[in-house]
Structure 1
C-alpha cells in the first residue's frame, strides 16, 4: 500500500496538495474490520493492518457527499497537526476504494467522550482535565490560522479511564480563519449564535471565537450531562435567559447555571459571550483550572427540570442503544429547527381537552 509523500518543512502549511490515491479493496490490506461509528459524511472502522500487524482506525469519507478536494483538506490538516500531543494522530497513509476516500489514524482504546459521559456529568476533576487539554489543542490549531468548527463530545477521543490523555479529532470541517462557508447540517446545541442566526445555505465567516464558544458548551455538558439550551437563539427561552443575565438586564442567574461557582460563571461569561468579537480565546481556560467550579451540595441533575412542565432537557449525548441512523435523523431534524422533544404539559392539556369534549358531546349512534 503506497503512502502519501510528506512535504518538506519549507512547504506552506496551508498549501493543500492532492495526489493519486492508490486503489485498494479493504479486505486485501486489512483484517478484523469492525464498525465503530458513522456520521453525515463518513464512517469509522477499526481494523488490523495485515502487513504491519498493527491496529488502526480507518476514516472512510463518503464519495457521494464529499468532494475530493475536501477529503484532501481534512487529511492534510489532520496529518500536519498530528505532532501535537492532544491532536489525534493521523498516519501517512491514504487510499481509494469504490465508495470511500480513506486515511488511517491511531486507535483511542476508550472511545470518544460521548460514550463515556455518565448521567449527571463527569464531575469537576475530570472536566478540568478535558478542558485544559482541549484548550491546549485548540490553541495550537489557532496558531496555524485554523478554526476546528466541530468541538463536541464525539470528537474528543479518550485513551485512559481518568481522562488524563484525550485528543481532539475529526478535522472534516476545519477551515482557515476568515474562510466563507455555507450554513448546512448545523449541530444546533453546539453552534454559536452567529451560526444559528445565519440564513440556511448562505455564507458566514469562520473565526476562532467559534471554537471558544463550543469549548464553553463542552465544559457545561461535561459538568452537568446536559446542554444549557437547545439553540443559541433568542427564541429559545433558556438561551434568552442567559443573554439577559449576561447583559446584566437581570440579576437572576439562569437555573441551569446555579451549580457553578462565581469563578466558573466568570469563565462562562467570557467563553459564551453572545458577541463573537468580545468572546475570550481558548487560553482563558488556563486562568480558572485551579479554582473550584461546582457549588457543593447542588446536584446538577436537579436543575434540569422545566419549571412549567415535567420535561427533562434533551440529553447531551446519544445513548449507546440508539442506532446510528436514529441519531443521524435527529441531528438533521434539529439542524432545520424541527423540535425533537415533547412538552408534556401541552400533551396533558390536549388529552384533558379531548376527554372533556368526549363527555360533553352527544354520543353518536344512540
Structure 2
C-alpha cells in the first residue's frame, strides 16, 4: 500500500469521528440542480454568511455507506490539488436523509453541454481541454489512483470557452492494482477487455450472469477514456456504439489499427534489410517482405476521415486494443500545437506551400536585380 492510499484510509477514519449534523437550509441557499446520477445529486448553493457559491453533493444515506462518502470527500479535499481537478472545500455534514459535502462549482456547465450545443468545441479549445485533462489524470496516476469514470458529464467548465476545465466525480476512483469485478456497459467508454463480461448464460428463459470476472485497475482504463473523449469533443459524436466484436464501427477501427500496425512493422523490417545491404552484411530476405516496395494504402474508417494524421496517430496510441500498450495520458502533450482536424491539416499544408513559393519568388527576384546591377556596371 502506497503512502497516499494509506493516508486516505487514515483521513477517512479521522473524519468519521468529526461528522456533524446540520440543516442544509440554515447554512446554504440552494439555487438549482447541477447534475444527478446513481450516487445522488449536485446542487448549486450559496453560503448564507459568506456569499460564496459552491456545489453541494448529496449522497442518500439509504444507498451510501459512510466509508464511501468519506472516501470521496477526503480524496477530493486532500489529493485533488491539480488545478484541473475538482476539489472539496472542507465542509461536510449529514442530515436525516443525506451525507453532504461542498466542492468547487463549475459555473459554466459541463463539457457535455458544450459538445451537444450548436456552437460545439473548436479545435483549439479541444487541444486546451485535452491538455488540462492530461495533467489532471497524470496527477492522479502519480499518487497511485485511477479515475475510471472520465466522460464529458464529469468535466466541468470553470471559465467560458473551455479555458479552464476540471475533472470531477471521484466515486469510482480506485488504487492502481485493485481487483474489481469486470462490468460491461453499453458505451464506447467501456474498454474492450471487459467484453467477456457482456455475455450471459440463459437458463429457463431468464438471463443469468456468468461467474464474476475480476480485473486489475490500471491507468490504461483512463487512457482509453481520454481517447474516446478526444474523439467526442472533435466530432460531437461517438466513434462506435460499444467496444465489442459485435459492433461494426469498432471492428472497422480494430481492423484499420491492425493493418496500420502490420504496415509499419513491414516497413521497419524492410528499412532494416536495406540498411544491412548497404553495410555489406548478408541477411536472408523473407519473400513476403519484398512486397513492401509497392506502396500499401491503408484505408481510414469513415468515422475517422475528418481527423488529421497527427490526431489519428494519437488516437491509435490511446485506443490501443491491448491495455498494456496504451499510451500514458501525459503523451497527449507531445501532440499539441499541430492540426487535429483534416481541414486544418490541409490548410496548413497549403500555407506552407504558398510560403515556399513566395520565398522562391523572392530569391528569384533577387537574382534578377543582381544581374541587372552587373549589366549596369559593365555599361559604365
User: 2-side partners of 1:209 and 1:160: how far apart?
Assistant: 29
Change (3 A) 1:93 1:120: closer
Root-mean-square deviation (CA, aligned residues, Å) is: 2.4
Offset of residue 297 of structure 1: 8.0
SS of residue matched to 1:22: coil
SS of residue matched to 1:284: helix
Offset of residue 70 of structure 1: 1.4
Preserved CA contact (<8 Å) 1:120 1:224:
no
Preserved CA contact (<8 Å) 1:209 1:276:
yes
User: 1-side partners of 2:10 and 2:252: how far apart?
Assistant: 44
Change (3 A) 1:22 1:205: same
Residue 144 of structure 2 aligns with which residue?
145
Preserved CA contact (<8 Å) 1:120 1:223:
no
Residue 22 of structure 2 aligns with which residue?
24
Aligned counterpart for 1:293 among listed residues 327, 340, 355: 340
Residue 77 of structure 2 aligns with which residue?
79
User: 1-side partners of 2:21 and 2:153: how far apart?
Assistant: 29
Offset of residue 185 of structure 1: 7.7
Preserved CA contact (<8 Å) 1:261 1:292:
yes
User: 1-side partners of 2:70 and 2:229: how far apart?
Assistant: 28
Q: TM-score, normalised by structure 2?
A: 0.72
Cα distance per residue 1:86-130 (max 9 Å; x no partner):
111211111111222111011211011111223584121110000
Residue 196 of structure 2 aligns with which residue?
197
Residue 264 of structure 1 aligns with which residue?
311
The correspondence of residues 115-130 of structure 1 with structure 2, limited to 5 A, is: 115-117=113-115, 118-119=117-118, 121-130=120-129
SS of residue matched to 2:141: helix
Change (3 A) 1:15 1:253: farther
User: 2-side partners of 1:209 and 1:284: how far apart?
Assistant: 12
Residue 209 of structure 1 aligns with which residue?
220
User: 2-side partners of 1:238 and 1:268: how far apart?
Assistant: 15
> Unmatched 5+ residue regions in structure 1?
1-8, 299-366
Residue 168 of structure 2 aligns with which residue?
169
SS of residue matched to 1:93: strand
Residue 283 of structure 1 aligns with which residue?
330
> Unmatched 5+ residue regions in structure 2?
199-208, 263-296, 346-380
Preserved CA contact (<8 Å) 1:81 1:87:
no
Residue 56 of structure 1 aligns with which residue?
54
Offset of residue 222 of structure 1: 0.2
Change (3 A) 1:121 1:216: farther
User: 1-side partners of 2:39 and 2:8: how far apart?
Assistant: 25
Offset of residue 49 of structure 1: 1.4
User: 2-side partners of 1:240 and 1:64: how far apart?
Assistant: 42
Q: Which has the higher helix share?
A: 2
Residue 254 of structure 2 aligns with which residue?
243
Change (3 A) 1:128 1:85: same
User: 1-side partners of 2:183 and 2:78: how far apart?
Assistant: 26
SS of residue matched to 2:162: coil
Aligned counterpart for 2:242 among listed residues 207, 231, 235: 231
Preserved CA contact (<8 Å) 2:120 2:236:
yes
Preserved CA contact (<8 Å) 1:119 1:225:
no
Runs of 4+ in 1 over 6 A off after TM superposition: none
